[in-house]
């Protein structure tokens, strides 16, 4: 008999093909096999539709907004103000091409798998898994970065010892994993509320900073030999600052993960992605210029775990009011922390449901229909990694090291998604596309090029190279797990069925209220 298998040999270019097989023959190293599951398998793995376009906008912006409160400023140390400014322009172009491409694919393939489902259709199980694995690293490590920022802000506000920081992290994980488990309705409503609060705090900061702005503050770093005030680290500083500029946008691409919980995903996902990106572009440049352009300036902000708090002290002084405002500013970190916990829960859920990860991780709560096992599991891994780096590299190096690890996973996933977009445009031209990317093929190529440049930049700074190598080992271990075990136990989840049957998704494999998706 002939079984259609989509496979990718490790040593060759990603591709799809039909493979004739004899009954009972064990697949070779490049093949995958599917196991039979009963009807109750998907009944125990159902999600609930709720989100509209405003919820999706809030989820996308909320996932990223912490980048304006913490993390981006390490790029000032890597490249100076000018280096980070140019890097941010380049990274903005990268995300324009990326987001338009993802918007097109998410409308055509509205599954919770997101990036994994795009690559699964375009490049087979191996392509889908490698993309999903890279994205999984990004979404598990990003909350770990943010929780370090939350600990830094709360520690500064309440003047707690540095040794208390892991306790702040544990408290944050406990509260917001619990909130995500509680239900999708409260999760999305909280995303809207906390995102609007975070944006309001940024607007207060922008207005206050204008009265204190001085370009000399932005250029107060001592230039190296042969360098300038604009580029104190030289032209190489632009390259070195690129991973930190990613922090202004990282995780906006998570929105396709909400496809099976959106009411009208084919219409609303592209709208949410594009409107979210426009919001974030404004915030990125306003934060970079205004936060670096007031005391203590680029040199001081570069070393801070709470850069916005430093700016608030310049604007309002060191009194109680500033501390209260800084406490409210934690909302920006909370918005992203909450939203990306949502993302890794759905991402682990989708890969587990299809058998790429252990299947118990995709179980959902019987009444609330939230992936509670995946949410807890991802939190445990993220917290453990943060603890390891905390004890190995204390201080602000924890956040910067975790940031580079998260960016490592992200840019690999970006390259794979753009490869998926290009293959789908070429080999699946007849696929129904409710939304078309205005940047088309050239946008995907530009995003791919800049993603590769960012990946290479991660290995420049020796201070964080050990963390990136740790992420690489994690990635290779994940590949080994799939090669030796998981590829023999896949399940025909919606993403798998879509890829194998030219877009047909059986209704029994859709989440509850699936009929709401048709539009």
Question: What digits encode the pLDDT tens for the residues 136-173?
Answer: 999 999 998 888 888 887 887 788 888 888 999 999 99
Check the CA dihedral 426-430-434-436 and report its sign.
positive
Is the distance from CB of 283 to CB of 68 less than 8 angstroms?
yes
Question: What pLDDT score was predicted for residue 397?
Answer: 66
Q: Flag whether pLDDT at 281 surpasses 90.
A: yes
Q: Flag whether pLDDT at 486 surpasses 70.
A: yes
Q: Is residue 12 part of a domain?
A: no
Question: What pLDDT score was predicted for residue 16?
Answer: 36
Q: Is residue 14 part of a domain?
A: no
Q: Once rounded to an integer, what is the mean pLDDT over residues 381-392? A: 88
The count of C-alpha atoms lying within 13 angstroms of the C-alpha of 277, restricted to the half-sphere facing its C-beta, is: 22
Check the CA dihedral 509-511-516-519 and report its sign.
negative
Number of domains in the chain: 1
* Element at 147 (helix H, strand E): helix 115-158
Q: Is residue 9 part of a domain?
A: no
Is the distance from CB of 113 to CB of 356 less than 8 angstroms?
no
Q: Is residue 30 part of a domain?
A: no
Q: Flag whether pLDDT at 233 surpasses 80.
A: yes
With bands split at pLDDT 50, 70 and 90, how would you rate the model's confidence at 28? very low
Domain range for 492: 35-502
Check the CA dihedral 297-299-302-304 and report its sign.
negative
Q: Once rounded to an integer, what is the mean pLDDT over residues 252-278? A: 94
How far from 128 is each of 5, 75, 113, 329, 419, CA to CA, in Å?
A: 13, 32, 9, 38, 11
CATH code of residue 470: 1.20.1740.10
Of residues 403 and 35, which shows the higher confidence score? 35
Q: Once rounded to an integer, what is the mean pLDDT over residues 217-223? A: 94
With bands split at pLDDT 50, 70 and 90, how would you rate the model's confidence at 393? low
Q: Is residue 10 part of a domain?
A: no
Q: Flag whether pLDDT at 516 surpasses 90.
A: no
With bands split at pLDDT 50, 70 and 90, how would you rate the model's confidence at 180? very high
Phi, psi of 2 (to 5 degrees): -115, 120
**What are the percentages of helix, strand and coil residues in the chain, rounded to 5?**
70, 0, 30
Q: Flag whether pLDDT at 342 surpasses 80.
A: yes
Residues paired with residue 3 on neighbouring β-strands, in sequence order:
19
Q: CA triplet 316, 321, 327: central angle to 5 degrees?
A: 105
Residue 444 to residue 45: CA distance in whole angstroms: 33
Q: Flag whether pLDDT at 10 surpasses 80.
A: no
Residue 37 to residue 29: CA distance in whole angstroms: 23
Q: Once rounded to an integer, what is the mean pLDDT over residues 255-270? A: 92
Q: Is residue 515 part of a domain?
A: no
Question: What pLDDT score was predicted for residue 402?
Answer: 85
Q: Give the total residue count for the chain.
A: 519
Q: Flag whether pLDDT at 517 surpasses 70.
A: no
The proportion of the chain whose per-residue pLDDT surpasses 90, expressed as a percent, equals: 65
With bands split at pLDDT 50, 70 and 90, how would you rate the model's confidence at 388? confident
Q: Is residue 3 part of a domain?
A: no
With bands split at pLDDT 50, 70 and 90, how would you rate the model's confidence at 343? very high
State both tokens at 268. Answer: 């609303």
pLDDT tens sequence across 71-118? 899 999 999 999 999 999 999 999 999 999 999 999 999 998 999 999
Residue 332 to residue 65: CA distance in whole angstroms: 6
Mean pLDDT of the chain: 86
Residue 103 to residue 255: CA distance in whole angstroms: 9
Of residues 252 and 12, which shows the higher confidence score? 252
With bands split at pLDDT 50, 70 and 90, how would you rate the model's confidence at 13? very low
Of residues 480 and 324, which shows the higher confidence score? 480
Nearest to 502 by CA among 127, 109, 119: 109
pLDDT tens sequence across 410-461? 999 999 999 999 999 999 998 999 999 999 999 999 999 999 999 999 887 7
Q: Is residue 2 part of a domain?
A: no
């Amino acid at each position: 008999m002939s079984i259609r298998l989509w496979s990718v040999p490790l040593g060759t270019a990603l591709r799809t093909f039909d493979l004739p097989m004899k009954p009972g023959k064990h697949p070779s190293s490049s093949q995958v096999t599917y196991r039979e599951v009963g009807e109750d398998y998907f009944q125990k793995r159902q999600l609930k539709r709720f989100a509209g376009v405003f919820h999706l906008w809030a989820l996308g912006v909320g996932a990223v907004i912490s980048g304006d409160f913490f993390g981006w400023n390490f790029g000032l140390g890597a490249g100076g103000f000018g280096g980070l400014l140019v890097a941010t322009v380049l990274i903005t172009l990268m995300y324009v091409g990326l987001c338009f491409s993802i918007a097109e694919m998410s409308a055509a393939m509205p599954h919770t798998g997101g990036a994994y489902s795009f690559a699964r259709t375009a490049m087979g199980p191996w392509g889908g898994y490698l993309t999903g694995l890279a994205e999984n690293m990004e979404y598990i490590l990003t909350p770990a970065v943010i929780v370090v920022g939350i600990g830094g802000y709360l520690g500064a506000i309440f003047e707690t010892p540095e040794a208390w920081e892991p306790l702040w992290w544990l408290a944050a994980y406990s509260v917001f994993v619990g909130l995500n488990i509680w239900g999708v309705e409260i999760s999305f409503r909280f995303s809207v509320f906390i995102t609007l609060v975070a944006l309001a705090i940024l607007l207060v900061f922008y207005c206050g900073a204008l009265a204190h702005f001085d370009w000399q503050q932005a250029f107060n770093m001592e230039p190296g030999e042969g360098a300038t005030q604009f580029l104190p680290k030289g032209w190489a500083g632009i390259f070195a600052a690129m991973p930190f500029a990613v922090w202004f946008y990282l995780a906006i691409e998570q929105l396709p993960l909400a496809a099976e919980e959106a009411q009208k995903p084919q219409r609303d996902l592209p709208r949410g992605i594009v409107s979210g990106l426009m919001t974030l572009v404004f915030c990125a440049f306003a934060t970079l210029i205004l936060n670096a352009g007031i005391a203590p300036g680029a040199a001081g902000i570069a070393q801070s775990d709470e850069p916005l708090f430093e700016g608030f002290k310049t604007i309002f002084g060191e009194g109680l009011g500033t501390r209260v405002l800084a406490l409210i500013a934690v909302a920006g970190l909370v918005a992203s922390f909450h939203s990306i916990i949502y993302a890794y829960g759905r991402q682990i859920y989708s890969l587990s449901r299809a058998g790429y990860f252990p299947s118990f991780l995709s179980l959902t709560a019987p009444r609330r229909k939230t992936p509670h096992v995946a949410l807890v599991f991802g939190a445990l891994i993220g917290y453990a990694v943060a603890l390891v780096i905390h004890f190995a590299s204390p201080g602000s190096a924890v956040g910067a090291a975790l940031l580079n690890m998260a960016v490592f996973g992200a840019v690999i996933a970006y390259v794979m998604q753009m490869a998926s977009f290009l293959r789908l445009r070429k080999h699946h031209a007849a696929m129904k596309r409710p939304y078309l990317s205005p940047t088309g093929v050239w946008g995907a190529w530009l995003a791919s090029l800049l993603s590769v440049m960012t990946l290479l930049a991660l290995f420049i700074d020796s201070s964080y190279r050990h963390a990136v190598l740790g992420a690489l080992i994690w990635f290779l271990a994940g590949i080994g797990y799939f090669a030796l075990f998981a590829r023999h136990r896949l399940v025909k989840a919606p993403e798998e069925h879509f890829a194998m049957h030219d877009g047909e998704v059986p209704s029994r494999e859709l989440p509850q209220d699936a009929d709401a998706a048709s539009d």
